[in-house]
Amino acid sequence: MRRYTCYTQLIKDQLVNESAMSMIKSFDEIILHSHMWNWGPDWQVVEEVYEAFPNSFSVLTPFAYSYLEELIRSNTSEYGVELNNEKGKPKKRETGINLINLAIAENKEKIPEFVSLLEEVKRYYYNSTRSDEGNNRHSVAHGYMHPRFWSKESFEKLINDIARLSKFANF
């Protein structure tokens, strides 16, 4: 029985180490492609905080969603320009699922791999319901679900997905 317990612990330790390595690689990929002045230093802090305090995911999740949205926007006609309506007043920018749909429409022909990843990322952008766990952008951005319901696993999945999208950043 003791040998089984030790083996089980060894497997658990290996999975934890693999998860940590995956997160390090994800953070490195994000930092590599992030805007050097606007986002790079902040991502470095996020990585340091998360490594020192793994339970900080609920504090770091809103930042990750903000970055994800700007990363997506950097591949649209809305990035880096002032949008005005016909009266010259500032026009509301697309956000959430509408932003993803804009990015998909504008990149369908140019960057099909990016569009495919955006289709996967849509799962973060559906409106919250009473029965969900609150692990989506809507719950985070609008305070629909208390952070105690967010999970470390969902944060790590979000970071891994941002890393997969990072090479397409147009900052």
Match 């969603």 to its residue by tokens: 65
Least confidently predicted of 11-25, 39-53, 54-68: 11-25
DSSP state of 144: -
What phi-psi label fits residue 151: left (phi over 0), alpha (psi between -120 and 50 degrees) or beta? beta
Give 11-19 contacts, CB < 8 A, sequence gap 24+.
19/156
* 75 or 91: which leads in pLDDT: 75
pLDDT for the residue 10: 43
135-152: pLDDT as tens digits: 666 666 666 666 767 789
Given a cut of 60, whether residue 6 has pLDDT beyond it is: no
pLDDT for the residue 49: 97
- Give 71-136 as a DSSP string: HHHTTSTTTTS--B-TTSPBPPPP-HHHHHHHHHHHHTTT-HHHHHHHHHHGGGGSPP-TTS-S-S
* 25 or 139: which leads in pLDDT: 25
Residue 108's CB: how many other CB atoms inside 10 A? 12
Q: Per the structure block, which two tokens stand in for 76?
A: 């649209």
Bridge partners of residue 90, in order along the sequence: 84
Q: Per the structure block, which two tokens stand in for 129?
A: 């319901």
Side-chain-side CA neighbours of 60 within 13 Å: the count stands at 24
Average pLDDT of span 29-42 = 93
Confidence of residue 88 (pLDDT cuts 50, 70, 90): confident
d(CA 66, CA 78): 16
Given a cut of 70, whether residue 9 has pLDDT beyond it is: no
Calculate the CA 88 to chain-centre distance. 33
Confidence of residue 44 (pLDDT cuts 50, 70, 90): very high
Given a cut of 70, whether residue 164 has pLDDT beyond it is: yes
* 168 or 58: which leads in pLDDT: 168
- What residue spans define the domains of the chain? 2-166
Question: Under 8 Å CB-to-CB from 76, ≥6 apart: which residues?
Answer: 94, 99, 102, 103, 106
Nearest to 15 by CA among 156, 120, 151: 156
